[in-house]
Chains A and B, each alone.
Chain A
C-alpha cells in the first residue's frame, strides 16, 4: 500500500525526518518496503541505506516556483513560444517552451493573472520528458532555433509526478514565487507492507494513528461532517438485508445534481501518489475516502436504479444468487455465480458483487446526475472465497477480505458523500439509510497488569500501559480485580476495543493481542535480553537422528559424496528402475493435485531412482562417481477413506541409496587403478557401513531382482530380516536412465531396518597378549560353492582359536581343473591365555580340513 507523507500530515504532526518515520513504522510492525522521493531531498547515496529508495529529489536552488507574465510567439517556430517569466530573483527571464497548454495564452500581451509553474534552472536534474520511462538528464544551456535557452518550465513527467508530458504543470494560484518547489510540494511516498492482522491500517488514517502512537503525537479526529441541505433520504431508497451473517450492515447516502468532471489537481495528485488512477470527481471521491479511512464505497447511478424500479423509489436488496443467475461486472465479464456469492441487487435483479466489484449497468457515467453511495460491511471469509472463486481482485475486495469493522461504514459514506458535494457539486439528501441487523459486539478485555510482565519481561505500571493503549484509541479503566488467584498484582485494566478494529480477541487471546500492541508501541528494542530461567526439559536422545548422522559419516568416510533430491517425482521416472519387460510396480502414489510442474507431481517411492538421475546428469561431465542419499519415500496410508478422521496419512520411511560407477581411482599422473568398479567395490562400501553401525547377523544372500544383473545381485539380510538390495544395475535399467555403458553399482537399503539393528553396546574384544600364528590355507572347491559358505565352515570348525579369516585370492584355471576354483584364506590363530604351539595349530587345522572335506568336498591345494 502506498501512503504519501503529505496526506499523513492531515492527521498527525510529523516532527521526524521521512527516514525516521519509516524506521518507526518498520519497527512497529508496518514494514516500509520502499521510500519513493517525489521532489523531497533524498539522503546521499553510498554507505548504509536502511531502506530501498527510489524517485527524484528537486534541487532547492535550481527548481523553484515561478510565474509566467506573458506568452510570446517564437520568431522562427510556430510550435514554440517564449515565456516572460518571474522566478523571484528580481530579474525577468525569457524561457523557451513547446507546451501546448500555453498556446491559448500566446500573443495576448501581459497576462492579467500570471500562471504559476515549476521552473528549472541550468544544471537541474530531471527526468527526460522525451524518452520513455524514467531516464535522468541534466538541464544544459542550448540554442534552439536561434534563441538561447538555459532553463525550462516543467511537465509532471519531468518532475517525476506522473507520466504526463502533454503540457507543463500549472500550479495552484497560491504557490509562492521563488520558493523551492520541494518546499512547496515535495513529497515522500511509503510503500507499506500490511500484515493480515493490520487490516485496520490499509488506509492513511490508520497509518497516521500508528505514527501518532509511535512518536507520541496527537491524532487529529476524522472529519466526517456532511453538509446536507436536501430533503430527507427516507422514502427515496430502501435497503433490505436478507443474509445478515454475510452482510451485517448496509449504509447508503444520496446526492442529487452532481456535475461529473475532473477532481481538483491536489486530489488527483494524491490519488496518483497512492497508486490510484483519477477517473472523475464522483469516483475519485469514493476512492479518496477509501484510501483515507479504509471503507470501500460504491457509487450507483441513482436514476438507473429508479428506472429499473419502474420510476419508483428503488429498494436495494442484498442476497445470495438464484440458481443460474449471472452478473456482468464493471470489467465487462459475465460471471457465473457460486451459491455463496453475496449480491447487491434491486427488485429487477443483481447490481454488483457485494464488496468486490460493481456491475456494468448501474455504474456512474459522464451523464450521471444523482448518485446513491453504498458503504457496507461484509463477512470477510466469504469475500475471500468469492474473490478466489471469481479470480477477481479489487481494492475493495483486498480490504474487505481482511476484515473491516461495520462501524466504518457510516464514517466512509459520510466522508465520501461530502467529498462528492465539494468536488462535484449537488445537494446531499439529509440522513443515511442504515440497515444494521447484526451489530458487532463491543469487545472488552480484562488485562491483569501482571500478565504484561509474565509475557514480556518488563515491569510497566498500569498508567504506562493505559497511556500506550489509549494512544491507539483503546478505552481503559484501571480496576482492582484479581482475575486469577495466583497473580502477584491485583491491578487489572478493563480495555474496551475501539470500533475500527476486529483483530482483538477475547479472554486469554485478547490479552495476548493487547500485550502485542503494548510491546509494539513500547518498542521491542527497549525490551531487555534475558536468559531462560525455566528448568531444562528432561533430556532425551534422538537415536534415530544420531544413527542417521553416523550413517552419513561412515559413507562419506568411505569416499562417497552425499546428495539430496526433491521428494517429488513422476511414476514414469521411477518406472525406469525396472526393465520394460517387467510389469511395473503397482503400488499407489501420494499425488499432488496442484503441482507446479508435471515433473514433480508424485511423492517418490524410491531414493535410488533420484540418485540414478543425479548420476546420469553428472556423468555427462565426468566418468567416475560415488554417491549416496538418505531420504524419505512415501506410500499412501491404509484405507484412503477421505471421510476418516483424521485422514490416513502416508507411510514415510527412510531409504539409503548408493551408486558407484567408473574407475576405482581418479586419474593421476602417478598412475592409478583405472579398472572399472565392480560389485565388490559396492560390497566393500556396504560392509564398511554395516561394520561401522555394528550390525549383528549381516549376511549377503545371492538373489534375483529385476533392477539388477542376474548373478551380480545380493540381498542384505540382518538375521532373517531383509534390509535391501545391492548389485550391478541391469543394462536395460542403465539405458533407461541414460547412464553410460559401464558397470553401475547400486544399493537400495531400508535405513529403518539398518538403524533399528544398531548395537550400541557391542562388546569390545580384548587385545591379545600372546603372539598370533598366521597360516595360509588354499582349498579347491566346486565353482558354484559360495565363498561365504566355505568361510562359515572354517569358522565353525576352527572355533575360538581362529581369530581372523581373510580371503586373499580366488583362482580358476588349468591348475585346479574345470568346474573348480581355489580359495586362499589367511587364518590367524590366537589363544587368549597362552602362546600357541605348532601342535595346537596343527590340531585345529586338521579339524578344519576334515570338516571342509566332509561338508564341501574341498581338497587342500598342494
Chain B
C-alpha cells in the first residue's frame, strides 16, 4: 500500500510537470484528485488493510493528497501568472504612434496677451475700464490737450467718418477722459483712479509688417493725491519685472506726448539677450515697451480733477508688440489675418 501511494504521488507530480494550460490542469485534477482517481481508490481501499497498518497508510494517504493539492494550487497559480504575463505582453502597442487627436479650442493671441496684462495689473490694483471705438474729435484730441490744428495731431493719422467730428479712435486715451469723468462725477470729492484701458485703435497709415491700420492698445491711468513721477517709475518698473522677470532692468528717456508732462519712454532690458545685444533688440540691449508721463494739467481739468490738488500718471503700450517680441513674430498683420496655421500655435 505504501509503495502504491508513493507511486501515485510520483506519477501524479511527474504528469503535472507537463501541464501547461488550465484545461490540462483540470484534466489532471480529475485524473489525480477526482473521485475515480487512483488516490481516491487507494484511500477507499484503506478499510481492506489490516487494522494495525491502517493508521500509517491513512496518514501517508492524507500526506499524498495534501501534497497533490498543494502542487495543483501552485501549478494553477503559475499558470495564472503566465497567462497574465502573456496577456500583458501581447497587448503591447507601438507607443510612437500618434495619439487620438483632440479638437482643442484656443484663445486668440489678443485675448491671451491681454489676460496676462490684466492679471499683472489686477495684482497692482488696476481695474479694467473699456470705452468705445468710435469717438468724438473732442475725446480723441481736444480734451487731451490737442486743440484743432495742433501740430501734435500729426502724430495720429486719423480715420474720419461721414459725420464731421466723429472719428475712429487713434489711441485708447479717450478712455482716460471717460474714466476721469465717471470717477469725478460727484464733483467735490472725486475718487482716486487706477485703471487700465485696453481696446482696438485705428490709424490712417500705410499697412506694413510693423504697423496695421487697426491694432490693439492698452493704456493705464492713475490719478489721486500726491502721485509723483517717482511713483510712475516705481509702478512701471514693477510691471516690467512682473512681465519679463524679477531681475529685468528698466530705463526712462524724456519724450513728448501732448497729454502728459513730463513725458517719458520706458525701455526694458532685452529679455532675449539679457542686455547683451541681439537682433531682437537691434543690438541695443534695450526694448522700447511703453510711453508714459504725468497727466497734463489740462487733461486733469477736462476730466474733472483740479490739477493743483490731484496729480496722476498715464502710460500706453502695444500688447501685440509685447507678444511679438516674446514669440519672435515679425509681422503685426498676422493678428487680424486669422490664418489658423498661425493661431493654432498659441
Contacts and interface: CB of A to CB of B under 8 A. Distances in A.
Nearest to A664: B103
A596 B205 contact: yes
Interface in B150-164: 150-152, 154-155, 159-164
A488 to B, nearest CB: 12
B341 interface: yes
B101 A402 contact: no
Interface string B303-328: 00001100100000000000000000
A220 B9 CA distance: 125
Interface string B205-242: 11100000110000000101111111101110110000
A562 B213 contact: no
Interface residues of A, number: 109
B174 to A, nearest CB: 11
B336 A647 contact: no
B35 interface: no
B47 interface: no
Interface of B: 97-98, 100-108, 110-111, 115, 125, 127-130, 132-136, 138, 149-152, 154-155, 159-166, 168, 183, 191-194, 200, 202, 204-207, 213-214, 222, 224-231, 233-235, 237-238, 251-256, 258, 261-264, 275-277, 282-285, 294, 296-298, 307-308, 311, 335-336, 338-341, 343-344
B97 to A, nearest CB: 7
Contact of A457 (B106, B136, B230, B276): B230
A777 to B, nearest CB: 33
Nearest to B183: A537
A667 B206 CA distance: 41
Contacts of B127: 537, 539-540, 542
B140 to A, nearest CB: 12
Contacts of A594: 159-160, 204
Interface stretch (A124-132, A356-364, A585-593, A710-718): A585-593
A484 B308 contact: yes
A contacts with B: majority SS: loop
Given A455-B311, A529-B237, A533-B226, A591 B162 contact: yes
Given A458-B230, A646-B138, A516 B261 contact: yes
A49 B294 contact: no
B31 to A, nearest CB: 47
A593 B160 contact: yes
B252 A647 contact: no
B206 A596 contact: yes
Contacts of B204: 594, 596
Contacts of A614: 338
B136 A529 contact: no
Contacts of A818: none
Given A515-B262, A542-B130, A562-B107, 12 more contacts: A27-B253, A52-B282, A195-B256, A196-B155, A455-B294, A537-B183, A537-B194, A542-B127, A556-B107, A564-B338, A617-B339, A672-B100
Given A508-B308, A519-B254, A591-B162, A50 B284 contact: yes
Contact of A590 (B162, B276, B297): B162
A198 interface: yes
Interface string A750-789: 0000000000000000000000000000000000000000
B224 A534 contact: yes
Contacts of A648: 163
Contact of B134 (A31, A525, A590, A625): A590
A48 B275 contact: yes
Given A524-B264, A568-B213, A537 B191 contact: yes
Nearest to A26: B253
B228 A530 contact: yes
Most chain A C-beta atoms within 10 Å of own C-beta, residue among B165, B275, B338: B338
A669 B336 CA distance: 33
Contact of B192 (A195, A508, A537): A537
Given A52-B282, A516-B263, A557-B105, A563 B229 contact: no
Contacts of A666: 101, 103
A197 interface: yes
A632 interface: yes
Interface in A607-654: 614, 617-618, 621-622, 625-626, 632, 634, 636-637, 640, 642, 646-650, 652
Contacts of B150: 381
A336 interface: no
Contact of A665 (B101, B200, B233): B101
Contacts of B110: 564
A538 B191 contact: yes
A520 B336 contact: no
A512 B134 contact: no
B235 A531 contact: yes
A456 B230 contact: yes
Interface string A11-41: 0000000000000001111010000000000
A196 B151 contact: yes
Contacts of B200: 567
B103 A566 contact: no
Interface in A775-821: none
